[in-house]
Amino acid sequence: MRKTSLKSGIFIPSIIFISTVSLISVFFPKVAEELLNTIQNFIFVNLNWIYVWSVTIFVIFLIYLMFSKYGTIRLGNNDSRPEYSFFSWISMLFAAGMGIGLMYFGVAEPMQHYSSEAFTSNQYISRVKNAQVYTFFHWGIHAWAIYGIIGLSLSYFAYRYKLPLSLRSGFYPLLKEKINGKWGNAIDVFALCSTFFGITTTLGFGVVQVNSGLEILGIVPDTSFVYQVFIVGALVSLSILSAVTGVDKGIKILSNINIVGVSCLLLFVLFAGPTVYLIGSFTEGIGNYITNFFSLTFNTHVYEEETLPWFYDWTILYWAWWISWSPYVGLFIAKISKGRTIREFIGAVLIIPTVFNFFWMTVFGNSAIWFDRNVANGMLSELASNPDALMFRFLEYLPFSTIASFVVIIIIIIFFVTSADSGIYVMNNIATKNAKHSPKWQIALWGILLAVLSLLLLNAGGLNALQSMTLITALPFSIIMLLFIVSFVKALIIDGAYYDRNFSESVIPWSGEFWKERLKRIVSFKDRPSVEQFIQTTVHDAFSELLKEFAANGINAKINSYENPKKMEIEIEYDRVNNFIYGVQSQSKLVSDYLLAEDNIPDVDENKTYFPKAYFGDSREGYDIQYFTKNELISDVLKHYERFLGIISEERNEMFISSNAHKKVK
């Protein structure tokens, strides 16, 4: 059996806290629920403004970043590219972010808002519009901005600064090397416990909904605990199997399958229900959402005391719930987002899932309200307080209702599995400080813990207590997320200054000497052997002279040579900052057909030409140096070295230039 990769400083405190809270909720569910509800209610009533302002800042910050000059920065090196196709990427972040919630609340939330007495107007049109716009508000840009802050920050620091993919890394600009000690462990313990509680409660409610659906279809006789044991056992086993196979296989495949299944179900309800009404209400709902965006964002209902309980039970609870889930979802989104630009990341994470959520909630929620008014004579609104069964009762008013209900159960099951397996993956990632390899038994351990505690809480009625605990942890974590933004801004400023850094004004450009030789090079097109010869002679001679002069000045440098492609570089090693590298490699490019046919251009015989291209150790874009003489090449190396020394001499650049040191951190 392979040795565990768990880090004791994270795993042991986390498992002690998780076990303590869970066991109290199991053996003293009523006492725990009353105590935690009291704390939760105090926070929601007296400190709700923290949630409102935090979420508002998240939205404004991400929208600003998307349109700022920083939007073109890649989450990785400047030449890195995404690891997953756009479709697979969207499928995975969507399945991990809100999958089960859409199935559980797709009908239930609009129906509950529609049936609520919180709003004074009892007119049908007003109630329908309120139901839709508040559902949009809770499942739209604000929710995804919460996930986006964590995902963007972590992927930026992990892939661009070469830090571990861990919450602690988001604090590097503020804590520096302290993230590798007790402060970093404390942050990861908090994230691990929050993730475990959030997944446990959500999966517990998912099991109840699956059980309810199976009862309605006549597959099981009731919703007793015995059947919930079988459901949890089967689903967690699938989750463990998927998690063990990794992101590239299990999670990716299941997410792709589920997004297709969800889309088919959505289209079925759209065309089997009141289609024209749904398309019209979706269009009007988007308009209402955009029109009321700022009033919804800042509304604390302080002047409408009759709606305050509704505000606490819905908006504030949702913000707390999304924040409590953000460590888990954010870490998973960061894992799959390497190579995306900041603008691409924000645009996709904020807009695509939001538009889908809006359409989903309109199709299911407004269909249910339409049927309730025109067909069911209020029977669906009477079930508003029973969300476990409401989706399935709604489907009974559509054709092929039994088949549709089976499809819903299958989708919930897959969402359950994708949420659980990505959760297992993330928890193991946190507990191991992003270890590359973990034994399979260790990954399975997280799934077993989820299953055991979910069943204990379901049997004892302690899920509500654990849910309250999860929501309470959202308050301190919202402050942590604001610090994430401070840290992220500091890093972006340094990033921008690093790549915008100009060369010294003292650098003398080409004087015009040897212009006849340069003209010959400009109008000639080289083959690979001639470029390799240039590297072997001019570049080698320039680097050799530099090597001697560096040594004479007490600087240890070396020359590295490589084949396929042919390249040579001069390197100066440092312990705490990136090594200085200036290299030259053989690079090919295509020549246009127009140029091949041009008589006034000599030496063009084929459509591919080669040239020597400079490159550096920091992902900046290189350039063609084929016209350089030996001395000009030496001058070019020295101007880059002067720029390098100027950058590393500034204390503020410490975190950006020390990624070699980050790679050594275990």
191-195, 267-271, 499-503, 576-580, range with the lowest pLDDT? 499-503
* Domain ranges within the chain, ordered by starting residue: 8-496, 515-664
Question: How far is Cα 270 from Cα 23, in angstroms, rounded to an integer?
Answer: 45
Q: Which of 180, 151, 156 is nearest to 168 (CA)?
A: 180
Q: What is the pLDDT of the chain when averaged over all its residues?
A: 81
CB atoms under 10 Å from CB of 648, counted, come to 18
pLDDT digits (tens, 9 = 90+) for 327-341: 878 888 888 888 899
Q: Given a cut of 90, is residue 485 above it in pLDDT?
A: yes
The pLDDT-based confidence of 57 (bands split at 50, 70, 90) is: very high
Instruction: Reply yes or no on whether the pLDDT at 486 is more than 90.
Output: yes
DSSP codes of every residue in 597-652:
T-TTS-S--SSEEEEEEEEETT-----B-TT--HHHHHHHHHHHHHHHHHHHTSGG
Out of 3.40.50, 3.30.70, 1.20.1740, 3.90.220, select the CATH number for domain 8-496: 1.20.1740
What is the per-residue pLDDT for 59? 95
pLDDT computed for residue 546 by the predictor = 92
Torsion, Cα of 266, 268, 271, 276 (10° steps): -20
Is residue 459 pLDDT above 80, yes or no?
Answer: no
Question: What DSSP string describes 327-361?
Answer: HHHHHHHHHT-TT-BHHHHHHHHHHHHHHHHHHHH
Nearest to 24 by CA among 453, 424, 473: 453
- Tell me, what's the pLDDT at 62? 95
Lowest mean pLDDT among 100-109, 357-366, 646-655: 646-655
Tell which wins on pLDDT, 641 or 595: 641
Percent of the chain exceeding pLDDT 90 equals 20
Q: Are 212 and 193 spatial neighbours (Cβ–Cβ below 8 Å)? A: no
Q: Does 423 have pLDDT greater than 50? A: yes
pLDDT digits (tens, 9 = 90+) for 214-224: 887 778 777 77
Please tell me what DSSP assigns to residue 7. -
562/573 Cα distance (integer angstroms) = 18
Residue with tokens 């986006």: 148
pLDDT tens digits for range 437-446: 778 888 888 8
Q: Is the dihedral of CA 10, 254, 395, 233 positive or negative?
A: negative
Q: Once rounded to an integer, what is the mean pLDDT over residues 158-174?
A: 83
Give me Rg for the CA atoms of the chain.
Answer: 30
Q: What is the distance between the alpha carbons of residues 288 and 173, in angstroms, rounded to a whole number? A: 41
More confident: 553 or 520: 553
| 230-241: pLDDT as tens digits | 888 887 887 777
Closest Cα partner for 147 from 415, 421, 348? 348
Q: Residue written as tokens 């090449």?
A: 633
pLDDT for residue 72: 87
The torsion angles phi and psi of 523, rounded to 5 degrees, stand at: -90, 5
Under the banding of pLDDT at 50, 70 and 90, the label for residue 507 is very low
pLDDT-derived band at 504, boundaries 50, 70, 90: very low
Interval 357-395: pLDDT, tens: 899 999 999 999 999 888 888 888 888 877 777 888 888
pLDDT over threshold 80, residue 265: yes
Contact 500, 643 (CB under 8 A): no
What pLDDT is stored for residue 262 in this prediction? Answer: 84
The model's pTM:
0.76
Checking if the pLDDT of 659 tops 70, the result is no
Min mean pLDDT across 78-87, 131-140, 287-296, 493-502 is at 493-502
Retrieve residue 482's tokens.
Answer: 């604001």
